[in-house]
C-alpha cells in the first residue's frame, strides 16, 4: 500500500513539473544555454553576489577583474587589496577571504587556475568538492555547474525556493536545502537552464514575496498557494 501511495505522489509531481517547464516558457521565454565565462569566473562572481544586489555584485566583479586581469595576479594579491577592489559588493573583507582561499585551493588541486576538469565529473562529486570551499554553499556550487558547464542541476535562490514551495512541490519552509534536494536528479526536466532562469524571472515579476500577481500567473490552476487563497 505504501509503495502505491508513493508512486501516485511521484506521478502527480512529474506531471506538475512537465507543465511547469512548458507553461513558464510560454509565459516568459526560451533561453538557450551558453557558457557564462569560465567555471572559476562563475565561482568568484557568485561568491560576490551573496547577500547583495545583482548590480552591486556585478560592479564588484568588474572592479576585481580590472585591478587583477588574471586569477594568477589576484591570487598573489594581499587580502586587503582584494577587499578594496570588491568593496561595492558588500561584506568585502569576508568575501576577499573566500576568494583568496578558493584560488589557492583550485591551484593546489588542479595545478592551474581553472575548474574545467569538473566538466567531466559526476554532478554529485562536483557539488561535494565545491561545497567544501569556504563560503560556498549548494547554490553557489550549482551556479558553477549549470552556468559554466551546462550540468543538470538547479541553483536555488530565494525566487526558485519561493515558487517551489508555493506550488506545493515541497512543504513551506525557510530551508532552501529542502528545495535543492527536491530538484536534484529530476530526470524528467528537459532543460534545467531554461527552467531555472524562467523560475527566477517568474519569482521576480509574478510570484513576488509580497503581493504576488496570481491573476497573471500561468501556473495558478496547479498552484497550492493560489488554491488556498481562493478558499479564503
Residue 162 zone, left/alpha/beta (φ > 0; ψ -120 to 50; rest):
alpha
DSSP string, the chain: -HHHHHHHHHHHHHHHHHHHHHHHHHHS--------S-HHHHHHHHHHHTTS-HHHHHHHHHHHHHH-SSHHHHHHS-HHHHHHHTGGGSSHHHHHHHHHHHHHHHHHHHSSS--GGGGGS-HHHHHHHHTTSTT--HHHHHHIIIIIH--S-----HHHHHHHHHTTSS---S-HHHHHHHHTT-TT-S-HHHHHHHHHHHHHHTS-SSS--GGG-TTGGG-HHHHHHHH-
Q: Give dist(CA 112, CA 132) in Å, integer.
A: 18
Q: Does 4 qualify as catalytic in the annotation?
A: no
Residue among 23, 95, 100, 139 flagged as catalytic: 139
Positions annotated as catalytic residues are 139
Amino acid at each position: 500500500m505504501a509503495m502505491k501511495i508513493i508512486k501516485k505522489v511521484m506521478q502527480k509531481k512529474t506531471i506538475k513539473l512537465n507543465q511547469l517547464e512548458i507553461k513558464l516558457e510560454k509565459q516568459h521565454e526560451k533561453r538557450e544555454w551558453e557558457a557564462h565565462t569560465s567555471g572559476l569566473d562563475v565561482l568568484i562572481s557568485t561568491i560576490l553576489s551573496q547577500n547583495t544586489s545583482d548590480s552591486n555584485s556585478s560592479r564588484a566583479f568588474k572592479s576585481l577583474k580590472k585591478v587583477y586581469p588574471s586569477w594568477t595576479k589576484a591570487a598573489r594579491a594581499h587580502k586587503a587589496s582584494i577587499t578594496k577592489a570588491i568593496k561595492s559588493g558588500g561584506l568585502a573583507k569576508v568575501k576577499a577571504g573566500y576568494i583568496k582561499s578558493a584560488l589557492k585551493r583550485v591551484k593546489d588541486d588542479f595545478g592551474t587556475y581553472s575548474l574545467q576538469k569538473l566538466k567531466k565529473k559526476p554532478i554529485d562529486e562536483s557539488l561535494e568538492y565545491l561545497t567544501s570551499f569556504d563560503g560556498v554553499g549548494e547554490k553557489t556550487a550549482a551556479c558553477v555547474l549549470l552556468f559554466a558547464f551546462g550540468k543538470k542541476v538547479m541553483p536555488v535562490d530565494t525566487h526558485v525556493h519561493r515558487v517551489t514551495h508555493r506550488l506545493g512541490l515541497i512543504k513551506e519552509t525557510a530551508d532552501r536545502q529542502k528545495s535543492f534536494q527536491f530538484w536534484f536528479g529530476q530526470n524528467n526536466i528537459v532543460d534545467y537552464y531554461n527552467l531555472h532562469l524562467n523560475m527566477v524571472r517568474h519569482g521576480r515579476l509574478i510570484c513576488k514575496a509580497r503581493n504576488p500577481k496570481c491573476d497573471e500567473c500561468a501556473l495558478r490552476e496547479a498552484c497550492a498557494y493560489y488554491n488556498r487563497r481562493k478558499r479564503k
